[in-house]
Amino acid sequence: MLPKEFDVSGKSVIVTGAARGIGKGIARVFAESGAKVMVTALTDRYLTPLAEEMEAAGHPIIPVTADATDSGDWQRTVDIALEAWGQIDVLINNLGDAIRRPLVPAPGSDGAPISDEEWRFVLDINLTEAFKGSRAVGPHMIERGRGRVINISGFAARKGSPEMLVYSTAKAGLARMTQTLALEWAPYGITVNCIAPGIFPDPETGDPQQIAASRENARTNIPLGRVGELREVGLLALYLASDASAYMTGETLYLDGGLSHA
């Protein structure tokens, strides 16, 4: 039996971008551990099937369609959570996406540079969403004098890659936001930490050929020789949400099989 400090049963948790990929893995782990879970996504395409799956497994979750980059949708999400639970214990800002494009195309290339719209989109979906989510939930956690905020970054926060300028910038910014917010909210009993995952393909919604290529590529390019399993990010998030991590704040934990050190 695990020590009681690892127990998250009964805790109320919001996970953004949770319909697929890493967010889905996080939501499953928390629901299976007895937490009360709300998952958000921009559409119900994958959200509804996930909710139905968890209901059938005996671990019901609350699905909410919402734009995590929109302040109004965030207020609605918080209102729904407080009406359902009366409190919010854990916020997991998981939304993210990337556009692979150089800042300036190489001479002779027929590629296009990053547009203003693409710059704003990638920053918003990786960084602004966490800012708005934390701002929406923060007053409630401060009033209660406790809470956990977990931001999901990426190994790009430590290691840049060609043609991933905006994504790397956003993820690095999220790590610094985590550190700064941890200092601001420490006096109120709130911890703020960050998980930076490596390669975590989703076998349920991803392209099978791309997933197979990722697994093969990992054999030689990732020190541990494999891609990550979605559940593994959820397990680390579970630790950060539990009392076992009560003395940790402002940290970015890299969960990438050693990729960011290679």
74, 38 contact by CB (below 8 A): no
Backbone angles phi, psi at 158, to 5 degrees: -105, -30
Annotated catalytic residue within 46, 167, 247, 254:
167
Separation between Cα atoms, residue 234 and residue 15, nearest integer Å: 11
What Rg value do the Cα atoms of the chain yield, rounded?
A: 18
DSSP letter string, 76-137: HHHHHHHHHHS---EEEE---------SSPPTT----PPPHHHHHHHHIIIIIHHHHHHHHH
Q: Is 247 a known active-site residue?
A: no
* Half-sphere exposure (Cβ direction) of 76: Cα atoms closer than 13 Å: 12
In 3D, which of 134, 174, 137, 167 has the Cα closest to residue 152?
174
DSSP 69: T
Would you call 172 helix, strand, or coil by DSSP?
helix
In 3D, which of 216, 175, 179 has the Cα closest to residue 199?
216
Evaluate the CA torsion angle 235, 237, 241, 243 in order and state its sign.
Answer: positive
The identity of residue 54, as a single letter, is M
Separation between Cα atoms, residue 238 and residue 217, nearest integer Å: 29
* Residues catalogued as catalytic: 167
